[in-house]
Chain A
């Protein structure tokens, strides 16, 4: 008769606790887990919050003065006055979006734009031509215009880059931690024979893996909280329903983590040492990091790619977390995405169970 395996709760907690302690003493964990995502958020958060600044250089004279009066009232447009030669230089070097100067003929103003920035040129052109049209109208003395444009502002939440970027950053951090940390961590513990030594004690193999997993889940959840906190405190990131939204984020992160850890486990099984881990984690993490909606929406990818990118595990996760953070929905309303994540995790864990070895 087989003897019953002893109660595994104590050993599980011991493995998780001491695994966590060892991880927190590891500088690489701290850097890649916390500093790295924060660096990204700060870099892109500040970049994104300003949007694209448009600066128009104006060479001063009577003709441009009237237009200057008009466009200087427009928000988000900077004006830089100066002489034409200097302004031209700045335009060429990309510091100015356009330069407004005297035309060659009477009654002509000239707008110099840079070939290098197509988008900005068009924005400036429409702003300036609008201003000129107004001037022309005023000069012609026409009253009771046939068509009038009235702009009405509808109340709404300002959607800023951070609102798009921060959830994507959580997705990336979860994926990277789950895959890299699990794969590198387990290979390291295999190589240093820590796993084997623990396996020599009356501890189940599954307990060892779960304990290690639990330690990593705690690190990754702390990571999510740090990212959200940085967003809320520094960039005024809004949690639509406050704590409820935060709770949804944490629960979703937990689901994502457990799913993505399957890939880490799979790599730890396939790889023989740390060197062979690197290309494998890169194959799984980087394409998703670049394409699956971390930095820009998947809709901006070429149409042929979209169907493939949309079914990547991180794409499901990012779609779900954005619905939660920007639309304020609860977890049950992102069921299709959760299903997608679950299918991937089943694939990953089946693959992992076939490859994982203790020796």
Chain B
């Protein structure tokens, strides 16, 4: 971390999205810097997914300006789409196609040449190459989804609640994959409602609620700010969490149901 250049790769200015008069996203502005992992945190219905999908050019904003990698997303949707990688909150794959077929389909859509087996191997899915997507476990589905997100070698990767519904092993494994993507120099934007995930993964966070961004900062800044107000946890923090206990007892090995 630390060596993040302060060049804004995504700029969101005064973004509003209204559905039948109700503002799902209520005039938000933020920047995401090149090479960072940026987290959007918030409870369900806060507007995280809507914000993400507007930047991904999947939905049209009601008003506001958004630039991705220097491109206005409304005028350059095609170019933006080919420079980003998108993981939707839920599946998004033909249940009756095999993993190899799905990878080949996405390669054709992005017009890139790929070696499906190499990609599957990278995400520990090589023995599932002929399985139908619907036969995969939750963790396998998310890893596969991540694999398709990287097919076009995007500069920016959007992950919408990638670890929701995974067991602790699956989550720990996916964090590792996300960190690997980050190491390759890609910018990652992730939504989550797990605080621990945000703290472990993200360089900077935006906390969102009811369509508004309440706070932006690094996890440390946000925590320090809270402590300055005199806030203290009721119980003293121990050096380990229950999750550490669980993973220590059951191991970090991936389980597939």
Give A contacts to B, CB under 8 Å. Answer: 1-6, 10-11, 13-15, 18-19, 21-22, 25-26, 192-194, 196-203, 358-359
Contact = CB atoms under 8 A, between A and B. Distances in A.
Nearest to B82: A202
Q: Name the residue among B78, B94, B96 with the largest chain A CB count within 10 angstroms.
A: B94
B111 A10 contact: yes
Q: Name the residue among B59, B93, B104, B109 with the largest chain A CB count within 10 angstroms.
A: B109
B94 A194 contact: yes
Q: Name the residue among A3, A26, A192, A202 with the largest chain B CB count within 10 angstroms.
A: A202
A241 to B, nearest CB: 40
Nearest to B148: A197
B124 interface: no
B96 A25 contact: yes
B230 interface: no
Interface in B108-122: 108-111
Given A199-B58, A201-B106, A192 B92 contact: yes
Interface of B: 56-59, 75-76, 78-79, 81-82, 86, 88, 90-97, 101-102, 104-106, 108-111, 132, 148, 152
A201 B101 contact: no
Contact of B109 (A5, A11, A22, A359): A11
B78 A18 contact: no
Contacts of A18: 94, 97, 101-102, 104-105
Nearest to B110: A201
Given A11-B108, A202-B110, A197 B88 contact: yes
Given A22-B96, A200-B86, A359-B59, 11 more contacts: A3-B79, A6-B78, A6-B82, A10-B111, A11-B109, A25-B96, A25-B97, A197-B92, A199-B58, A201-B82, A201-B106
A19 B96 CA distance: 10
A194 B110 contact: no
A203 B102 CA distance: 16
